[in-house]
Copies of this chain bind each other. A is one copy, B any other.
């Protein structure tokens, strides 16, 4: 394989760090690696391939000579830098929400819609973490019988809000155990021993920004503009890995057993569905792994036989929900 010149934008962040790990672990054919971040982080070092890579400030001239930029900075930062990246000739694989819903930008989960990569114009968007995990889990079912409607409620970990939120969960848990009052800083509400509606701003529709992303992006990834979907996004005191309770209304009948067989052989999915031992997908098992774990696969008794299905899904959203998916996109492009 050709060796590839890769820039990681946001290299010091929690997803950026994970991108570096995934590139290493998957032996991505990195020729040159450049670590880019805000001016604030310039001069720091990151680990890659046993070397210390100095972090460079991500200005407009920082992308010269790169083939791919894997970006995990804020939407505004990436939007500002995207012209410079394009002019440098590098392909931008962006983990922010900046370009996801633009009609000329493919929004890609390689297990689900790799064909969308064909038409890219220099920018490929990496979807929202909940949408990635959800679409990997339901795409095999959607392709077989069609999904009419999804009701999804999430159990999202602190890491989705970044490193500061993870550290806050840990330090706050200690404070609460010591009988002190939790003081939220990185997150708007106490996260230790608590759950709360996702911290994204609530929009005119009554849905918050995270829910709107999940709903719109799921439709785009599945290529199903008419899919009915409602999402309720909730933070839980878990360090990493998101869980999702998923209820499906199908267009044509599919038995529980057919669904299980379909999911068991689908790419990227590991079925964990041991009813006798009460073992199902859990963040503690999913954390650090690559799979989307699917379990609690059962016929929904509230819908006509064969037309309703319940699932419980779990995956490390820093990996499959972010870094791994971005690297998989790059791998697909490199392989041509």
Contacts and interface: CB of A to CB of B under 8 A. Distances in A.
A283 B202 contact: no
Interface string A185-216: 00011100111110101100111100000010
A275 interface: yes
The A interface, classified by DSSP as helix, strand, loop or mixed, is: mixed
Nearest to A203: B275
A232 interface: yes
B232 A310 contact: yes
A282 interface: yes
Interface string A157-177: 000000000000110011001
A237 B234 CA distance: 14
B312 A193 contact: no
A243 B247 contact: no
A197 to B, nearest CB: 4
A303 B279 CA distance: 33
B188 A177 contact: no
A297 B197 CA distance: 12
Contact of A230 (B190, B280, B283, B301): B301
A238 interface: yes
Query: Copy number of this protein in the oligomer?
Result: 2
B193 A237 contact: yes
Contacts of A284: 182, 189-190, 193-194
A280 B196 contact: yes
A298 interface: yes
Most buried by B among A170, A239, A300: A300
B298 A243 contact: no
A150 interface: yes
Given A245-B234, A298-B207, A155 B280 contact: no
A312 B197 contact: yes
A303 B278 CA distance: 33
A296 interface: yes
A196 B153 CA distance: 14
Given A301-B215, A302-B229, A195 B283 contact: yes
Interface of A: 149-151, 153, 155, 169-170, 173-174, 177, 182, 188-190, 193-197, 199, 201-202, 205-208, 215, 228-230, 232, 234, 236-239, 243, 245, 247, 256, 275-276, 278-280, 282-284, 295-303, 308, 310, 312
Given A195-B283, A205-B299, A229-B302, 7 more contacts: A153-B153, A155-B236, A197-B278, A206-B275, A206-B298, A230-B303, A247-B247
